[in-house]
């Protein structure tokens, strides 16, 4: 745990909470480093089945810390950290679920777009507002475009307009709108953390592996991965548990990982 990021393990769930409420959880170097360290650590930890991202305070994330970015000496370090953070969703082998409340602007939209599942509160607002500062959302553009499509992301980048949770869901940035976004995201994360690690990790790896490939090549990989999962002990246990009407006990969860 750090001052700027709270990290708590609950069984196979890792809960990460942005904790710069006085700065509206703006992404300074310390918070970016803490997030990357926690996410990279979770990726390599077989005892972590899912990751939940929420925030303390009145805003989810106001984007980059303007006070810090104004310091020329830090510019390259910030560029590197942001590049790593705003591409994490494409590399992360564990499901990342976010509960977003109030404002998610600029880099806050980038964080949401890098999460694999996003639950937004009714009060949540989003916007690529960099253009208002004479900037462009260069480093978050790829992730947001992957979620919304290039044409819509270009419109949001050009206008800098702020939109609500209903539109975020309609556009595909948020998957669900719930009154208690953090609570609902926690439910989803706990459920996913309880699924077969072998199945989840195989699926996540498959999605990353076929990204950008053609239809036929992707199909070859799909059959290869599915055959491997078919032959694995988790699938056999899942079938047994279904037939016996009980909860499965996944063999891929090692002792002490449950």
Q: What is the pLDDT of residue 76?
A: 82
What is the CATH T-level fold of the domain 5-193, as seen in this structure? Answer: 2-enoyl-CoA Hydratase; Chain A, domain 1 (3.90.226)
pLDDT digits (tens, 9 = 90+) for 62-120: 999 988 876 656 778 888 999 999 999 999 999 999 999 999 999 999 999 999 999 99
Is the pLDDT confidence value at 57 over 50? yes
**What are the start-end ranges of the H helices in 70-164?**
75-85, 88-91, 107-114, 141-148, 150-159
CA–CA dist 47, 258 (Å, integer):
7
CA atoms 213, 44, 104, 107: torsion sign? negative
Partners of 103 in beta bridges:
125
CA–CA dist 223, 78 (Å, integer):
41
Q: At what angle do helices 141-148 and 107-114 cross, to 10 degrees?
A: 50
Q: Are 175 and 230 in contact (CB under 8 A)?
A: no
User: What is the pTM (predicted TM-score) of this model?
Assistant: 0.94
pLDDT digits (tens, 9 = 90+) for 164-200: 999 999 999 999 999 999 999 999 999 999 999 999 9
Q: What is the pLDDT of residue 138?
A: 96
Query: Mean pLDDT, the chain, as a whole number?
Result: 95
Q: What is the pLDDT of residue 67?
A: 82
With cut-offs at 50, 70 and 90, classify the pLDDT of residue 203.
very high
Is the pLDDT confidence value at 256 over 70? no
Q: What is the pLDDT of residue 75?
A: 76
Q: Show me where the domains of the chain are located.
A: 5-193, 197-244
CA–CA dist 184, 177 (Å, integer):
9
Tell me the percentage of the chain whose pLDDT exceeds 90: 91
Average pLDDT on 211-240 reads 96
What is the CATH T-level fold of the domain 197-244, as seen in this structure? Answer: Lyase 2-enoyl-coa Hydratase; Chain  A, domain 2 (1.10.12)
Q: Strand runs (DSSP E) across the chain, as ranges?
A: 5-10, 13-18, 50-55, 96-100, 103-105, 117-120, 125-127, 162-164, 176-177
Residues labelled catalytic: 130
Average pLDDT on 137-160 reads 97
Q: What is the pLDDT of residue 77?
A: 84
Q: What is the pLDDT of residue 255?
A: 43
pLDDT digits (tens, 9 = 90+) for 15-45: 999 999 999 999 999 999 999 999 999 999 9
Q: What is the pLDDT of residue 248?
A: 97
Sheet-wide strand order for 176-177: 5-10, 13-18, 50-55, 96-100, 117-120, 176-177
């Amino acid at each position: 745990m750090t001052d700027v990021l709270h990290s708590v393990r609950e069984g196979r769930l890792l809960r990460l909470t942005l904790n710069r409420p006085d700065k509206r959880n703006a992404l300074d170097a310390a918070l970016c480093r803490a997030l990357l360290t926690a996410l990279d650590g979770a990726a390599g930890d077989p005892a972590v089945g899912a990751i939940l991202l929420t925030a303390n305070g009145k805003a989810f994330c106001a984007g980059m810390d303007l006070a810090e970015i104004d310091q020329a000496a830090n510019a390259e370090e910030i560029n590197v950290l942001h590049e790593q953070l705003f591409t994490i969703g494409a590399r992360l082998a564990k499901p990342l679920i976010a509960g977003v409340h109030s404002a998610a602007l600029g880099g806050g939209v980038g964080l949401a777009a890098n999460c694999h599942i996003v639950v937004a509160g009714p009060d949540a607002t989003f916007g690529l507002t960099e253009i208002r500062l004479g900037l462009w959302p260069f480093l978050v553009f790829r992730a947001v475009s992957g979620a919304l499509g290039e044409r819509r992301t270009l419109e949001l980048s050009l206008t800098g307009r702020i939109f609500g949770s209903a539109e975020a869901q309609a556009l595909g940035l948020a998957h669900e709108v719930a009154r208690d976004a953090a609570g609902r995201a926690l439910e989803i994360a706990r459920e996913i953390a309880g699924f077969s690690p072998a199945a989840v990790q195989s699926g996540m790896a498959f999605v990353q592996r076929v990204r950008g490939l053609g239809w036929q090549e992707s199909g070859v990989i799909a059959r290869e991965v599915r055959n491997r999962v078919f032959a694995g002990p988790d699938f056999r246990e899942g079938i047994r548990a279904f037939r016996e009407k009980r909860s499965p006990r996944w063999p891929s969860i090692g002792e002490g990982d449950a």
